Structures are given as structure tokens and as C-alpha cells.
Amino acid sequence: MAKTKLISPHGSDELKVLLLEGKERDAELKRAEGLPKIVMTTRETGDLIMLGIGGFTPLEGFMGKADWKGVCQDMKLSNGVFWPIPVTLSHDKKLDAGAEVCLVSGETNEIMGTMKVTESYQIDKDFECKHVFGTTETEHPGVQKVMAQKDWNLAGPVKVLSESYFPKEFKGIYQRPAESRKIFEEKGWKTIAALQLRNPMHRSHEYLAKIAVEVSDGIYIHQLVGKLKPGDIPADVRVKCIDTLVENYFDKERVVQGGYPLDMRYAGPREGLLHAVFRQNFGCTHMIIGRDHAGVGNYYGPFDAQEIFHNLWDGALECKMLPIDWTFWCYKCGGMASMKTCPHAKEDRLFLSGTALRKALSEGGEVPAEFSRTEVLAILREYYAGLKDDEKVEVKLHGHATGDAKVDKKK
């Protein structure tokens, strides 16, 4: 099949790749060993890797104060380019402009990159949380991470030296944007829909994916392989589940799988926008946005993420939303359906969610056959059976997981 021209990266004609390789990397790594060390959180490390591979095009490093404030308040960088969530690096003290530092993973102690500091600044953490998460409540896992940041943010361009353990641990899944784009081009795809995953695929995810395949050339099942909150299912188990589902229930010529190294921020609508930004960089033309995208608890309405896309200004983002309504298994319809297609009552429906599935499995409860494919449930049951008591986390249901949430959706 002839190659096709894909969507341009966000805010740029080409990917902004900051990852050094070969002799250039070797020389910078040697130099880095003599620089003052900044120890990064897993979130900051994931952000740095995305900067390195071009996933955060057009960014060239960690944000300065003008960019941070513009992103929080107006979802715009200081140059006017759309960006929905701050990408920042915190430190316990101010550094002079011009200082050079070595960036080290706090998880692995590996040298990840270098940065030339252009600015040190302090932020109003409540201001960031209010705008980005819509709350300052510390029960929110994203708010917790911002509040745990150190007193100063350091800004400046970066040189990235490593992708950490992701290429090896998630071989065949972890991808750079240049790699996914090459696959899409070789397949001749023009329209590609991205499916964001942080849970194993249950029947609703499968249904969303197949709707997307019907209206596009193919689907990019793109899962997070960075850190989640306690109680979420780890990435290696998730990968195994998704592999099994794709192998048995999808036309493999219409599916590409990938993984990316970010932590979840659980920022709901704002994170949905960030997901679309970097999916555009990976070559996708559309982003599937369903119920409670990137949400947590009851902090966001089930379709707030769709509303924020509808309210974007013209030209903000080329990657378009593919909005899909609340989906469920309907016993009277005899299959998967949505609020737009099913005329039956709530008692005829089985609402599907990753939260409900995790709760049932973690408590050893029954899981209806309609909830997930048999092969996937077998993998998940094996994982939960192997957990020790101190590894188990109570999973709390919220209205979006049960169908009880108030739906306030503009048509």
C-alpha cells in the first residue's frame, strides 16, 4: 500500500526530538556526570522522556513561569500555541540562570538528561490545581502530586539521554512517535483514531474501539505504561490482557498497539486534551473521548471531557475528538449499546467500567460474562489471586462506574 501523508505534529512542521543518540549522547552523558544532580519524580521523568522522543512537540524543555501561568489559566503557551497541562520540574532551591544540571530518575537513579536553567520561579500550587484539576482537595491524586512538589520550578531546554526501562520492559509496545507514524504511513492510513487506556480492555473499551474502526482507517490502542495510583492494574498485566483481546477479537490489520511512558495525572477534561495533543504527535487524526475520560472519583461529570473539546477555539488542535456516548451491555438488545441506540430501562443494562471490574476481582466477587472476554478475565483473576494481603487496595465505586451519576450533557 502506498505511503500517505500524515497529520502534522502539534504546533510544528516536524517532530521536536530532544533525545540524543550515538557519539553525541556518549559525550553529553560523560559531561552530565560532573554536573549538579536534580532528582526527578516518576511524573517528571515520564515528561522528560516524552520531550525526548517528540511526544511533547513543540516543547523544548520544562516550562518557565509565563508558559506555566498561560497554560494553567488560558491553555496557551506564551507564544500562543495551545497546551492544556503544565510540564514542569521542581527543585528545593533557586538556581541561577545559566546553571547546567544533570537530571536523574528518582526511581532508578539513572542519568536521564541535562538541562540549562533559564529561570527559577515559585508557583501558587492552589492556582495550578484549581485551573488544571478543578479542585484543591488533597484526596485528588493529581492534586497530591502538585502539592508534593518542591518550592521552586526550574525552566530550560533539555537534552535527553535515556528512555529508562520502557523500551526493554515493554518491548513491542513502547513506541516513539516516529515509529507509530512510520507504521501508519506504511499501512496507507489517513484517518487514525487513538484509544487511551489505563485499564485492561473490558467490553465497553472493545465496543469503542470497533466503532472507531468502522469510521476510520485504523485504531491506535495506546496505553499508559507509566505509574498509576494504588489499586490500578499494573502495565504488564494490562499489556497481556490487551494482547489477548486483539489476537482473538480484532482484525489485526486494522489495529496498532503502542505504549507511552507518562504517569496519569487524573486531570479529567484537561488530560483528555493533553492526550489528543500527543496523539497528534504520534500521528493520530482523532481521539476517542467517552465517559469520564481520565477522571477519578466524582471530580468530573461523565462528559466534561467532551464539553472541553467542544469549547476549544478554532485552530487550537488539529487532532479531533471522536465523542462516544455512555456504553453498556443491554440484555434486551442482546449486546453492547449506548444511550443513543438503546431504548430500554436501566434495569436491563449492565454498566461496564474499569473501577467496577477492579472492585469485583479484588474482592473475589462474581463478574458477569458480559463484562469482559473470558480470556481477559482469566488473566486478571490470576493476577488478583497472586496478590498478598498488604498489596490489596480497597476499590471504591463512584456514580460514573455504576450508571448512577447525573448526566448533564449538551447534545
The model's pLDDT over 14-43, given as tens digits with 9 standing for 90+, comes to 999 999 999 999 999 999 999 999 999 999
**Residue at 325 is within a domain:** yes
Mark which of 164, 192, 216 sits at the end of a domain: 164
Between the CA atoms of 257, 106, 130 and 294, what dihedral angle is there, to the nearest 10 degrees?
Answer: 20
**Residue at 394 is within a domain:** yes
CATH of the domain at 73: 3.10.400.10
Ramachandran bin of 172, using left for φ above 0, alpha for ψ from -120 to 50, beta for the remaining angles: left
234 shares its domain with 181: yes
**Which among 200, 183, 201 has a CA at the least distance from the CA of 192?**
183
213 shares its domain with 76: no
Confidence band, pLDDT 50/70/90 cuts, at residue 189: very high
**Residue at 3 is within a domain:** no
206 shares its domain with 233: yes
**Residue at 189 is within a domain:** yes
More confident call, 277 vs 229: 277
Ramachandran bin of 54, using left for φ above 0, alpha for ψ from -120 to 50, beta for the remaining angles: left
**Residue at 364 is within a domain:** yes
Q: What is the mean pLDDT of residues 128-146?
A: 97
As beta bridge partners, residue 224 has: 260
Q: What is the mean pLDDT of residues 66-85?
A: 98
pLDDT above 60 for 404: no
Confidence band, pLDDT 50/70/90 cuts, at residue 361: confident
The model's pLDDT over 193-247, given as tens digits with 9 standing for 90+, comes to 999 988 888 898 999 999 999 999 999 999 999 887 777 788 888 889 999 999 9
178 shares its domain with 275: yes
More confident call, 270 vs 385: 270
CB 62 within 8 A of CB 117: no
**Which among 145, 408, 395 has a CA at the least distance from the CA of 266?**
145
**Which among 334, 315, 357, 341 has a CA at the least distance from the CA of 231?**
357
Percent of the chain scoring above 70 in pLDDT: 94
The model's pLDDT over 281-306, given as tens digits with 9 standing for 90+, comes to 999 999 999 989 999 989 999 999 99
pTM, rounded to two decimals: 0.91
Mark which of 164, 180, 208 sits at the end of a domain: 164
pLDDT above 70 for 159: yes
202 shares its domain with 331: yes
350 shares its domain with 403: yes
Instruction: Name the pairing type of β-strands 89-91 and 119-121.
Output: unpaired
How many independent structural domains does the chain possess?
A: 2
| DSSP SS3 for 142 | helix
CB 353 within 8 A of CB 204: yes
**What's the full length of the chain, in residues?**
411
Q: Which residues of 346-361 are buried (b: 16+ CB within 10 A; e: fewer)?
A: eeebbbbbbbbbbbbb
> Which of 110-114, 215-219, 242-246, 393-397 is the least confident region?
393-397
CB 238 within 8 A of CB 200: yes
305 shares its domain with 344: yes
pLDDT above 80 for 401: no
93 shares its domain with 194: no
Q: What is the mean pLDDT of residues 165-194?
A: 96
CA distance 250 to 201: 12
Q: Which domain does 65 fall in, by range?
A: 22-164
The confidence score (pLDDT) of residue 391 equals 65
Strand order in the sheet with 349-351: 335-338, 327-330, 349-351
**Residue at 195 is within a domain:** yes
More confident call, 315 vs 406: 315
Catalytic residues: 198-199
**Residue at 343 is within a domain:** yes
Mark which of 164, 184, 217 sits at the end of a domain: 164
110 shares its domain with 248: no
CA distance 263 to 142: 10
Confidence band, pLDDT 50/70/90 cuts, at residue 357: confident
